Every structure is written in C-alpha cells, then in structure tokens.
Chains A and B, each alone.
Chain A
Amino acid sequence: MTTQNKDNNRRNFLKSSATAIATGLVGGSIINSFVSCKDKNKTEGEKMNVLTHDGKLVAIDKSQMANFKPHISDEDVRKGIPGKKFVMVIDLAKCDGCGKCTKACNKMHYLPTNKAWLSVVDMQDSSETAPYYFPKPCMHCDNPPCTKVCPVGATFKREDGIVAIDNTRCVGCRFCMAACPYSVRLFNWLEPEKPNIVETTPAAEHVFQSKKGCVEKCDFCPHMAREGKLPACVTGCPMNAIWFGDANEDAVTCYDGTTTKLSQLLQDGAAYRFMEELGTEPSVYYLPPTNRSYDAKEIKIENAE
C-alpha cells in the first residue's frame, strides 16, 4: 500500500467514522469501507460482524478490515492504560536462577548483554539461612522515591501503576538513581547502539529506551499491556515463576497461560513485598522460597565483581 493510499484510508476513515465507528466487538480493527484500495488482499468469503455507531450489526468481508492501532498521545502515555493496576508476583520457590527472564527482557528492549533491567540476584539473608535466587525488576512502587525527586517530571507514576521514564525529558541528573533503594535504574553512560526499528508510540512507551545521558529501567512492557499481552520476562520464564496481571481484575497469568486469582495466590503463598519497611509500597510481590523445585545448595553467592 502506498503512502498516498494510507493517507486516503485515514481521511476516508475520519469521514466515515461518523457512520461506522466500530468498537468493542472488533477490538483493534475497523472497517475499511468506502475506500478505494479494495483490490488488496482479495480473500473473499470470511465475514465478520461489526457494530456500527447506531447499534446495527453488520456483516462485513474480512478483506474490508484494516488493522488499526489507536493513536497514543503523550497524555495517554503519562496517564497510563485506563482502569488497570498492574502487578507482578514472583515465586522464589520456582526460580532456579536460569536468567531466561533477563535474556527475554534484553531481547525485547534491544539491550546489550552487559545491561539488565531485570537482574537475578543471588541472595542469602544470613550465613545460616538458605540462599535463593531473587529476580529484581522495577518494583513500580505506589509511593515511589524516584518520581518524587525528579526535577523535570521525566519519570512519573501512571494511573495504571507503572513508573515510566520519558527519555525525551530526562536531564540526566541521576537523582532518581540515588533515590531508588532497589538499585534498578540504569544510566546510559555512553552512546548506546541503536536498533533498526521504527517506534510509533511516545517515548515513555518505546520498546528501545536507551539514550545517551538518560536513565532507563524496567517498564513492565506497557506496549505489550496495551495489546493485552504479557511482558517479556513472564513469557520468557519456563519455570512459571513470574506472574503478571491486573490487581483490579484480581487476576494474574504466568508463562504457560495459567490465570489465577491474585488475592488467592498472595494469601496461599504468604506473599511479601521486598523491603516493605521502607514504605515504598511496591507493585511486585514475592512468594517465599519454600519447598523449592531446585537444589538450594548449588547456589553460589558471589561477592561484588
């Protein structure tokens, strides 16, 4: 499809939107009606039911449908996805420290191997207690120390619970890094290598967030959430250790697609939040490493460097 056609599509769409706005039922697609380029994709036969704005159900050929992604404005990105409250539950009993979550995350966000938005830390609380693996994403705190101190509002808390960064705004003062008690924020000390991709959303929801002189961190994959998909770390964890979902729906989902009640999961698993005593109100819950599915003795705690 040429660009001119695309423009035509849009103009016609705007014109015809009064008569044929399709919402809900088609979810993510709109009618490509009254458009000149009907000759494309001539696979007639399959019909779809579409609800018009005046409440009529119309059967329309699938070839008449165009894939439509709603335009996301800067304001939408700052507000977040309406009605959601994203949470993550990490089951430490299942995590065997394979690091596949980190790899999946790095692949999703085009990060080099020496960076990790989600790092797996070997923890041992005291010399006599058992060591365990501790995947550490951004906690997306409800009382975030990082967004409080940002002088320009480059990092902000959204209504859907996500703490996001707008790297077109960030001045690189690194106050947020000093303020974050979880050490999850990374800084681009040198010019990062840019992947060859085209981003359509505003900066805070970009897949690739590295920019020289700016801060970056785990963003809970809001671009996936907009499409109703799971973040890269969840779909990358073969141990089913990471659950992700919406607290308002009280549902979380893991790698194999199991969806469960969040409240039940937290209650049954005696969930806790990391460093609750700081009062940061994290959105990430941990299930303690009891009855582990791997051998804890194999964990070697390595000190810095």
Chain B
Amino acid sequence: MEKIDQEIKNKIQDELLATVGKRYRQETFWVIFLSIICIGGTVAWIFQLKKGLGVTAMRDYVSWGLYISLLFFFVGISLIGALVSCVLRLSGAKWRYPLIRIAEAVTLSAIFFAGFMPVLDMGRPERLYYLITHGRIQSPILWDVMAIATYFFGSVIYFYLPLIPDLATMRDKLTDAPKWRRTLWKWLAMNWTDSLIQRKLLKKGMFILCIVILPVAISVHTISAWLIAFTLRPGWNSTIMGPYFVFGALMAGAAIMILIIAKLRIGYRLEKYLTAVHFNHLGKILLALTAFYLYLNINKYGVPAYKMAKDEKPVLEDLFFGNNSILFWFTQIVGIVIPIIILSIKKLRNTIRWVVTSSILVLLGALINRYLIVVPSMLHPFVPIRHAQPGFATYYPTLTEWTITASSLAGFLLLTILLFKPFPVITIWEVTEELEKQGEKPIGVENILTTQNSAYHAS
C-alpha cells in the first residue's frame, strides 16, 4: 500500500476545510432568501393556529392535502442517507466517500421536517403530547412517530461518527478560529488521536450502524405508506403502497442528491472532489430507480385500470382524463419516461448538465406525485358527494396553505445549508484514506493526485 505525500494530504485538508466558517456571497443570498420565506410561513402558521385549519382549502372530503403530501415527500427524501451510507456501502461502491456527509445532512434535515409536517396538519397541535400520555400502540401514527424518531436519532449518530476524525483535524488545523468553536470541536472530537485502535472502533461502529439503520429507514417510509394503505379508500386500499413509497423515495432521494452536489461543487469550489464520475454513477442509480418506479407505476395504476372496479373507477378516471390528468401525465411522462430516455443515452449520462436536468424533472415529478397519491382518492369517496357546500368537493389550496408549504420546503433547504456550514461537507479522512488505497477501486477524485502532483505518478 502506497502512502500519499503528506504535502498532498495537507493540501486536501486545507481545501476541504476552506468551506468551514467561510462566507460565500451566493450562499448568504440563499440563507437570507430562504429565511424570509420561513418567516412568511411562520406568520401564516400563527394565523392558521389562531383561526383554525379552515384557512386552508382542506374540508371534510379532502381532509388531508398539501401538508400530508409534503410529509410523504420529506420522508421520501430522507431515504437518501440510507441509500448512500448503507446500500452503496454494502455494494462496495468506493466513489460514495465524498458523498456521505452531504447525504446524511440532507437526511437529517428532511426527517426533521417529516416530523414537523404532521404538527402543521394537526387541528390541536397543543395536544401533541397526548401521543405519549394517551398513545394507542395500535395506531399506525404511533408507529410512524417511533420510526421517524428512531431514524432521526440514528441519522444524528451516523452524521456524527464519521465527523469525529474531521473534528480532530479541525481542532488541530483551524487554530485561528474563535475560542468557543475550538473548545466545541475539542469537546466533540472526544480525544481523537487517529490511532489504529480508534480507527478500528470507529469503522466497526459505522458498520454496525449501517446494518441497523437500513431496516429503520425502510420502516419509516413503509409505515408512512401504511397511513394511507390501511384505509379502505379507493386508490389507497392497495398492497403495493409500501414498496411503491420506498422506491419512489429512493428515486427522489437520488435526484435531490444530484442537485445538491451540483450546487455545492460550484458554490463551494469542490469540482475536484465532486466530479463527473459521481454524476455518472448517481445518474446510473437514478436511471435504475426511475425505470423500476415506472414498473411500479404500471402495476399501481395499470392493474386496477384493467379491471375498472366500481369504486376505483372515479379515481382512475380523474387521474387519466379528469381534472388531475395534466398533473398525472406530467409525472408519468416528464417525471419518469423522459428522464429514463435521457439517462439511457451514455453520451448524455456522462455530462453533468443532462444528469442534473433529468434530476430536476424526476424531483418535480416526485413532488407532484405525492399530491396525486393523497388528494384524488379523497375527492372520490365510496359514498358519492351530493349537495356539497361550495369548496367542499374540490381542492384548490389557499395562499396560507401555499405559504406554509413553500416555507417548509425553504426550511428544509435552509437547515441543509446550515448543516453544511459548520463542518467540511466532504469527509476528509475517508477521502484521503481511500486515496492511499487508490488502485483498488476508483472513488472519483483521483485526478487530485494527477493535477496537484504530477510527479507522484511518475515516481
């Protein structure tokens, strides 16, 4: 095993540590912009708390709307951490190393908001603690609460463990940082000296966590799917919901991962670490997941459409030809089929721009698809809607509702950015460690060595 030069190692450390505490103009703009949206959303929420949920467009028929759709979306995105940290790890993909911390940050932020959305949707959020004092374990909501909480704490640990060696590096290298920060780093690094036994223990811990968190991650999304699959409603009363949600989630997670690293590599000047190789690999994963999702969609909509049972018929007709048909065909064609075509062409898959384009389409489709899972089924109950009051038999979200929804998405992005801020976004020690073992399997950042020290390869 060759050792890379200490010089290169230092350079990598310096480059990756450069983002810590540094202010970027574009980033500052985004933080301010997203904060303004969040403030707007908070005002809207206070208004909603005062007046009641009547300020939304939800009524007795459509009793779940945008908030619950967004809950499913956030739970979905949160699966990316499990995909990168567990699935890629177990499949031995070395190129995942620069992505791990980014994926965990996205996961943490998404699962936090996934836990927050139901609170926004509650009629009496002040009674939230009843879930503990009067909780009924038979209710899937309790399962969801427990799964989300477990996954959240698991993700916090998974975010923290690989951070320890980097915190030690920060403690040792960034000596001109404010004192409280250095104290905090020192405290969080827990006496990390980079000894062999420490590394061994850390790796063991990460491996155990990787195995444990996978079923938790899958359960989070499956239970969210069960919230609707456990009802007798047309369109929801289906056994496919669990896998449908899990794979839709992995797909949306992969798409948002691509978008975020595309933004970070330019914004934080990490082109050397987040390379075309990563986009290519993630593009392939996205292609596989999107193709599988298309297959699941054909099953989910095609099978009942062939039978056209009495109760399913109005829901399916609404999706295929009715008011929601534009959205439905958009998610199927623009959100799934076109990305599959783009990503199948090797030439396009190898260009970052096309991978990013297809990710945007997939993510947009996934977001709309969550809405299409929730609302049309509520609009077509078993008992036909008659003499409905104005606004009861339709669902057009109000401004308040849009504001709160938008600010939840903004809050998710803001929290993600804030999680990137105090630490290097790329795990330094894992990248350098893998570079040392270079030659076994590429991790996508080899050209650091060639560009920075051409003499290295020659020697």
Interface residues of chain A, those whose CB is within 8 Å of chain B, are: 114, 119, 121-123, 136, 145, 148-154, 169-175, 177-179, 181-183, 185-191, 212-215, 275, 278, 280, 301-305
CB atoms of B390 and A305 under 8 A apart: yes
CB atoms of B382 and A275 under 8 A apart: yes
A-B contacts, CB under 8 A, total: 143
Asked whether any CB of chain A lies closer than 8 Å to the CB of B422, the reply is: no
CB atoms of A189 and B54 under 8 A apart: yes
Say what secondary structure dominates the interface of chain B.
Answer: loop
Asked whether any CB of chain A lies closer than 8 Å to the CB of B138, the reply is: yes
Contact among A170, A186, A191 with B60 in the assembled complex (CB-CB below 8 Å)? A186
Asked whether any CB of chain A lies closer than 8 Å to the CB of B6, the reply is: no
CB atoms of B130 and A152 under 8 A apart: yes
Q: Which residues of A contact B378 (CB under 8 A)?
A: 178
Nearest A residue to B133 by beta-carbon distance? A152
Nearest A residue to B374 by beta-carbon distance? A178
CB atoms of A181 and B232 under 8 A apart: yes
Given A151-B136, A189-B52, A305-B390; 14 other pairs, CB 8 A cutoff: A121-B386, A145-B231, A149-B230, A151-B139, A170-B127, A171-B128, A175-B140, A178-B64, A181-B233, A187-B123, A278-B232, A303-B386, A304-B385, A305-B393
In angstroms, Cα B196 to Cα A133, docked, is 80
Q: What 4 A-B pairs have minimum CB-CB distances, sorted nearest first?
A: A172-B123, A213-B123, A189-B54, A190-B54
Which residues of B, 106-164, contact A by the 8 Å Cβ criterion?
Answer: 118, 121-125, 127-128, 130-131, 134-136, 138-142, 145
Contact among A171, A182, A278 with B124 in the assembled complex (CB-CB below 8 Å)? A171
In angstroms, Cα B125 to Cα A174, docked, is 12
- Knowing A121-B386, A187-B123, A188-B52 are in contact, say whether A148-B60 is a contact too (CB < 8 A): no
Asked whether any CB of chain A lies closer than 8 Å to the CB of B389, the reply is: yes
Q: How many residues of B contact A (CB 8 A)?
A: 50
Q: Which residues of B contact A214 (CB under 8 A)?
A: 123-124
Nearest A residue to B143 by beta-carbon distance? A151
CB atoms of A179 and B231 under 8 A apart: yes
Interface residues of chain B, those whose CB is within 8 Å of chain A, are: 51-54, 56, 58-61, 63-64, 118, 121-125, 127-128, 130-131, 134-136, 138-142, 145, 227-228, 230-233, 378, 381-390, 392-394
Nearest A residue to B379 by beta-carbon distance? A304
CB atoms of A171 and B130 under 8 A apart: yes
Q: Which of A119, A215, A304 has the most CB of B within 10 A?
A: A304
Q: Which residues of A contact B232 (CB under 8 A)?
A: 145, 179, 181, 278, 280
Nearest B residue to A192 by beta-carbon distance? B52
Q: Which residues of B contact A301 (CB under 8 A)?
A: 386
What's the least CB distance linking A200 to chain B, in Å? Answer: 24
In angstroms, Cα B130 to Cα A114, docked, is 31
